[in-house]
Amino acid sequence: MTLISNIIHNDFIIIASDKRRTVIVNQNEQYSVDDEKKLLLGINYAIGVQGSLSTKNEKYLIKLREFVLSNEVNNPLEIIPLILKLFPDISKDENCSDLNLTFSGFFENSLFSYYLKLKTNDVINCVETDTFNIRFNNENNKDEDMLVRRSLLYIKVYLQENNVYNRIALPNITEFDRATIIEALNFMYGKFHSNDVDFYTIGGEMEYCIFSNNSIIQTNL
């Protein structure tokens, strides 16, 4: 399992990913390696890749990397159709149960963020639909979605340990500055990595990128 985090702030967007790659050898055997780059950085955007493949063949990830490396288009509304056309037969691939992209960046002095479901060609505008301004993979509701709640619980622990949050409710992380959010996300990924038996396939060093409405502010990619 991959964990792609997407935080839409008033002034910036943070997109982050873990690096764990879990290979299913057969029904009774699998192993994990923390070496995968699932966050791809383009000229004015980043794409977080999240999905499930029952094969060692990384043909989709390889093709996405090649696309981002060579793509010179910077308008997201032009990029999305190009991405959707990359895999015309993915809906028929029985080895791929899902392949989803978090696509965030800036264009013409505005921030943008979309969630693409490549198996069905669904495109979600996260700026319009993510009520709490957060998305963890395909979940965005902190009142109902387990992955969102688990993520925010870990973030809450970090904030409380650093004496910047003392409420019982899950935090609204867009209330904090980007340095605090980055550290809280890094703490969250570490907790998934070391403590969470339900999400043991999340792990490795966090990679991230922060966008303002006209530039890449910070990244470790």
Residues 206 and 17 sit within 8 Å (Cβ to Cβ): yes
| Residue 133 within any structural domain of the chain | yes
How many distinct structural domains can be found in the chain?
Answer: 1
Looking at residue 24, its pLDDT comes to 64
Domain assignment present for 31: yes
Q: Is residue 92 part of a domain?
A: yes
**Is residue 100 in a domain?**
yes
3-state helix, strand, coil in the chain (%, to 5): 30, 30, 40
Q: What is the pLDDT of residue 76?
A: 98
**Residue-number span of the structural domain to which 63 is assigned:** 4-138+199-219
Q: Is residue 178 part of a domain?
A: no
Give the model confidence (pLDDT) of 33-92 as tens digits: 777 889 999 999 999 999 876 555 678 888 999 999 999 999 999 999 999 999 988 888
Residue 111, pLDDT score: 98
What confidence score (pLDDT) does residue 193 get?
Answer: 74
Question: Using CA atoms, how far apart are residues 29 and 134, in angstroms rounded to an integer?
Answer: 34
Report if residue 121 sits inside a domain: yes
CATH of the domain at 23: 3.60.20.10
Percentage of the chain beyond pLDDT 90 is 71
Distance of CA 64 to the CA centre of its chain: 15
Please report the pLDDT score of residue 119 as a whole number. Answer: 92
Percent of the chain with pLDDT over 70: 91
Which amino acid appears at position 149 of this protein? R
Residue 70 within any structural domain of the chain: yes
Q: For 162-203, write each residue's pLDDT tens digit.
A: 999 999 999 999 999 999 999 999 999 998 877 666 666 787
Q: What is the mean pLDDT of residues 134-160?
A: 95
Domain membership flag for residue 143? no
Alpha carbon distance 1, 91 (integer Å): 20
What is residue 34's predicted lDDT score, i.e. its pLDDT? 76
Kindly provide the residue ranges of all beta strands, DSSP E only, lying in the chain, ordered along the sequence: 4-8, 13-17, 21-26, 29-33, 39-41, 45-53, 96-107, 110-117, 122-125, 134-136, 207-211, 216-219
Q: What is the predicted pLDDT for the residue at 1?
A: 66
